[in-house]
Structure 1
Amino acid sequence: MPNDSRFAAPATPRAEAVPEAAVAQIVAALGRIRFGDIRLTVHEGRLVQLDITERTRFAQT
């Protein structure tokens, strides 16, 4: 089965460089949130979207 195409890795598009403005926004988001998620969306090897979900935690009393 070494040449069986069913087990071959799928062809992937060549990734493009991430623009400096996007990197700056990602770094800024990392510096500003304490709890939450940062999600990057990639389409065909290109970064197309940055989603930030911030959570606020209340102190236990």
Structure 2
Amino acid sequence: MVSKSTIDPEVIEKIISSLETLDFGTVQITVHDSQITQIEKIEKHRFSLKRKESK
């Protein structure tokens, strides 16, 4: 396991920012050779279903 001190502080800030600005969704971190190479943020927007009245 990589210790926290070896992770670039800019990368940590990006991860934190992604989490703080996400209401619903996923933050995925991709690692190659023990190094973070990619961060993906997938947002989901949920809308309530409004039923139409029957005629």
Question: What is the deviation of 1:60?
Answer: 3.5
The gaps in structure 1 that reach 5 residues or longer are: 1-13
- Whether 1:51 and 2:40 are equivalent positions in the alignment is yes
Equivalent pair of 1:15/1:44 in contact (CA under 8 Å)? no
- 1:1-61 equivalent positions in 2, closer than 5 A: 15=2, 17-61=6-50
TM-score normalized with structure 1 length: 0.70
Runs of 4+ aligned structure 1 residues displaced above 3 Å come to: none
Question: What is the deviation of 1:18?
Answer: 1.2
Q: Distance in 1 between matches of 2:21 and 2:45?
A: 13
Give the AA of the match of 1:60.
L
Query: Sequence identity of aligned pairs in percent?
Result: 23
The gaps in structure 2 that reach 5 residues or longer are: 51-55
Q: Distance in 2 between matches of 1:28 and 1:53?
A: 13
Cα RMSD of the aligned pairs, angstroms, is 1.5
- State the secondary structure of the residue aligned to 1:29: helix
